[in-house]
């Protein structure tokens, strides 16, 4: 028999009445089924270095997920599926898009979900409103490969072993990530190594990279930093040889003159808490590629986020990109305003 345990309803976002609900269903006492996600509406003013200024608004980042958990023979079994509305966004669409679909049995996770690089970096970064440039400066810069179609994670204490669908379409093995996280007093850190087969002309080579991310608590504030270096990492950082675009496995993103090219990226950030409800994040990220063109890109940002209600945030963020990052984001300044209701 199925029981509705909790039902709550949401409210308006940026003046538009959007109703959301959170439902938790329980069966037999040890199995739960829940629906969650958030509604986010954003408006962005673009002032590119070249071209006309414009203002665009959307609610595509809104997402909904379904999660079920069950205890089976002293093991915890979890199923999770989530979608947002960025499907066909390049053509102006707002179709439902699959973000996550995975099964987790204790420490083993299998399915479509975050890649190993993302999980080694993102939890230690400052909070950003920028959906299309959250990780710039890190080894997990975003793009289509941030959630591979198939990923296998196994965790043991602070270690995480990851095998994921390779970016290079003709790779013989999965892309591999091994990471280790730990805490030393107020310092949290994560060290990761990535190995992958990368396209090099009509052939391929093995690329290896290493990343380190950290967060230092300073009372109510925190200092954040990350750094990475390696060859063949542009497919994940989204900064390629000679260009800064969203990379695909079909392109020579990481090779020049018959060899894989090294690149280095870093981020620094600071989170300041003004009150229990008001806080701000300052961040700088940069990537430099050792190619003939000395490809380089950086992004600066600062935001202010107000927790109006426990599940309702309002925010504003300014950012400045030195070059194009991902195919749809131009160089120049942006100002984003947003409201987000979590359910």
For residues 183-207, give the mean pLDDT.
95
CB-based contact 282:302 (threshold 8 Å): yes
pLDDT value at 17 more than 70: no
Task: Give the dihedral sign, CA 241/246/247/252.
Answer: negative
Q: How confident is the model at residue 117 (pLDDT cuts 50, 70, 90)?
A: very high
How confident is the model over 150-155, as a mean pLDDT? 98
pLDDT score of 188 more than 60: yes
Q: What is the mean pLDDT of residues 152-177?
A: 96
CB 139 within 8 A of CB 237: yes
pLDDT at 273: 98
Which residue from 14, 15, 34, 39 is spatially nearest to 24, judged by alpha carbons?
Answer: 34
Domains in the chain, start-ordered, CATH in brackets? 3-342 (2.40.160.10)
Please name which of 262, 279, 270 lies closest in space to residue 314, comparing C-alpha atoms: 279
Q: Is residue 271 predicted with pLDDT exceeding 90?
A: yes
89 and 137 in contact (C-beta within 8 Å)? no
Give the list of residues 6+ apart from residue 165 with CB closer than 8 angstroms, or none.
Answer: 148, 149, 150, 151, 174, 175
Give residue-wise pLDDT tens across range 125-136.
999 999 877 788
255-256 and 296-309: which strand pairing? unpaired
- For the ranges 35-49, 225-239, 296-310, 313-327, the lowest mean pLDDT is seen at 313-327
pLDDT > 90 fraction of the chain, expressed in percent and rounded: 73
Question: Distance between CA 26 and CA 36 in Å, rounded?
Answer: 15
The stretch 93-100 carries a mean pLDDT of 95
Look at residue 255 and tell me whether its pLDDT is greater than 70. yes
Contact 313, 307 (CB under 8 A): yes
Confidence of residue 327 (pLDDT cuts 50, 70, 90): low
pLDDT over threshold 80, residue 278: yes
With cut-offs at 50, 70 and 90, classify the pLDDT of residue 251.
low
- Which SS3 state, helix, strand or coil, does residue 59 take? coil
Query: pLDDT class for 16, splitting at 50, 70, 90?
Result: very low
Pairing, β 221-231 against β 203-218: antiparallel
Instruction: Answer yes or no: pTM beyond 0.75.
Output: yes
Percentage, residues of the chain above pLDDT 70? 87
The CA–CA distances, whole Å, from 31 to 25, 78, 82, 105, 110 equal 9, 10, 19, 14, 20
pLDDT in the model for residue 330: 78
- For residue 26, what pLDDT is reported? 63
Does the structure show a pLDDT above 80 at 47? yes
Q: How many CA atoms are closer than 13 Å to the CA of 329, on its beta-carbon side?
A: 26
Per-residue pLDDT, 154: 98
CB 109 within 8 Å of CB 121: no
Per-residue pLDDT reduced to its tens digit, 292-316:
989 999 999 999 999 999 999 999 9
Pairing of strands 31-48, 175-184: unpaired
Mean pLDDT across the chain: 88
Q: What span, in angstroms and rounded, lies between the C-alpha atoms of 96 and 255?
A: 35
């Amino acid at each position: 028999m199925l029981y509705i345990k909790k039902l709550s309803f949401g409210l308006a976002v940026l003046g538009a009445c959007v109703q959301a609900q959170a439902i938790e269903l329980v069966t037999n006492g040890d199995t739960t089924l829940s629906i969650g996600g958030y509604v986010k509406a954003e408006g962005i003013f673009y002032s590119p270095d070249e071209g006309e200024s414009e203002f665009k608004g959307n609610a595509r980042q809104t997402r909904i997920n379904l999660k079920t958990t069950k205890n089976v023979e002293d093991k915890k079994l979890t199923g999770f599926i989530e979608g947002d509305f960025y499907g066909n966004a390049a053509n102006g669409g707002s179709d439902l898009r699959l973000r996550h679909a995975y099964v987790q049995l204790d420490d083993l996770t299998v399915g479509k979900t975050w890649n190993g690089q993302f999980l080694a970096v993102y939890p230690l970064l400052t909070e950003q409103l920028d959906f299309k440039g959250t990780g710039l400066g890190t080894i997990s810069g975003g793009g289509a490969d941030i959630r591979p179609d198939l990923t296998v994670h196994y965790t043991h204490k602070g270690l995480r072993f990851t095998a994921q669908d390779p970016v290079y379409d003709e790779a013989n093995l999965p892309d591999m990530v091994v990471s280790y996280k730990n805490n030393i007093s107020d310092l949290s850190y994560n060290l990761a190594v990535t190995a992958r087969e990368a396209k090099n002309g009509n052939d391929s080579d093995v690329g290896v990279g290493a990343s380190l991310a950290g967060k230092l608590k300073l009372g109510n504030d925190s200092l954040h930093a990350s750094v990475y270096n390696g060859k063949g990492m542009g497919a994940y950082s989204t900064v390629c040889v000679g260009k800064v675009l969203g990379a695909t496995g079909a392109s020579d993103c990481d090779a020049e003159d018959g060899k894989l090219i090294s690149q280095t990226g870093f981020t620094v950030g600071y989170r300041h808490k003004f009150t229990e409800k008001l806080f701000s994040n300052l961040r700088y990220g940069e990537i430099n590629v050792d190619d003939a063109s000395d490809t380089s890109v950086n992004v600066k940002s600062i935001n202010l986020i107000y927790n109006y209600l426990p599940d309702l945030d309002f925010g504003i963020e300014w950012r400045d990109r030195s070059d194009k990052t991902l195919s749809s984001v131009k160089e120049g300044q942006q100002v984003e305003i947003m409201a987000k209701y979590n359910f």
